[in-house]
Amino acid sequence: MDMQTYRDGRKAADAAAEAIRAALIGLGLPERVWGGVRPMVTHSGKPYVHFGMMRAEAAEQIAEAIRSAE
């Protein structure tokens, strides 16, 4: 992968991770929940967001927010 592909992937992953963090903060979830959200880039340059492990009650709160947004 060339450096520009990595940079583009990293930029997209950073933006997505920050958007998720902001949404979790907006739900009133503490840093221990959203602190594990990390941007990731694969060897081919594809952007991903790793959520890490979170408590079940936080996952339920996130699921409820998604359901209510529909």
Predicted pLDDT at 7: 96
Residue among 16, 20, 15, 12 nearest 46 (CA): 12
Number of domains within the chain: 1
Range of the domain at 26: 3-69
Predicted pLDDT at 65: 92
pLDDT average, residue stretch 56-70: 90
Predicted pLDDT at 69: 82
Residue 70 has pLDDT above 80, yes or no: no
pTM for the model stands at 0.86
- pLDDT tens for residues 5-60? 999 999 999 999 999 999 999 999 999 989 999 999 999 999 999 998 989 999 99
